[in-house]
Amino acid sequence: MPRVRKSTPIRLSVSVTATLLAGITALLPAAAFAQARQPARQQPQQQQQQPAPQAAPQAQNNGPTVVQVKPEPSQTDWTKVCGKDQAHNKEICYTTRDFVSDQGQPVLAVAIYDVKGDPTKIVRFLMPLGLLLRPGIRFATDQGQPIPGQYAICFPNGCFAEAQVKEDFISSLKKGTALNVSVQNQVGREVTFAVPLTGFSKAFDGPPIDPKVLEEQQKKLQEELQKRSEEMRKRLEEQGAAAGAGAPAAGGAPAPAAPAPKR
């Protein structure tokens, strides 16, 4: 599968790549995702099991688990970024957005690459760690025919998967309500992320974002993610302090029994 050339703008939401999947393990059954800060080949031997999420109605009866994601709150809409491939003198644009869980934790990111004059587009996903790579992914607009995609490369905080698509798929995205991205977790169970498509058509067909506005959005998002990280760290510290205060000191003598009441 052809790759986007090095001169192509390939930053798929750096805000997500920096903090991908913090705390997302609670979403999927059987510890579907590895720890976000460790490479896939260096996963810990023992991993704490997380409770399975409440399955959506369509995930009952041993069917796939459906995870409804929502847009990153600090992003007002899909973002279109354009650049110039100096080697071939072609304009390349990508339309992208980050998505989070109901708890506001980063889940995945999507980008659709459009090379001017090329009928073939590239859909690229930034996916969580801990998924089975060999089956690849499948994605479809609403109830459309699934399209297979393959993983291209993994980093310590996520894996890129991509596929080539034609104009008819782009048209379906513009008219659709959800992009359903299906993967397999570590125990081979299917998990489908339902990605809302509201605003995609307007962004894809509209003008690219001003670089200064994009920089400001990235800065704002980074600040918000740092704030959430700090809040999570404080909560963990408070929980640890509370647990330590309630436990008896190591090697300490047991508390004396209360004296019996006088008769």
Q: What is the CATH number of the domain that holds 132?
A: 2.60.40.1880
The reply to whether 8 falls in a domain is no
Q: Looking at the whole model, is its pTM more than 0.75?
A: no
**With 70 as the cut, is the pLDDT of residue 30 above it?**
no
Q: How many domains does the chain have?
A: 1
The reply to whether 28 falls in a domain is yes
Supply the range of the domain harboring residue 200: 14-39+53-218
The reply to whether 133 falls in a domain is yes
The reply to whether 158 falls in a domain is yes
The reply to whether 47 falls in a domain is no
| DSSP annotation string for 217-248 | HHHHHHHHHHHHHHHHHHHHHHHHHHHHHHSP
| DSSP annotation string for 138-164 | EEEETTS--EEEEEEEEETTEEEEEEE
The reply to whether 196 falls in a domain is yes
The reply to whether 223 falls in a domain is no
**With 90 as the cut, is the pLDDT of residue 184 above it?**
yes
What is the per-residue pLDDT across 84-133, written as a single tens digit (0 to 9) for each?
888 778 899 999 999 998 888 889 999 999 998 889 999 999 998 889 99
The reply to whether 260 falls in a domain is no
Residue 104: alpha-carbon gap to chain centroid: 11
Residue 47: HSE in the Cβ half-sphere, 13 Å Cα cutoff: 20
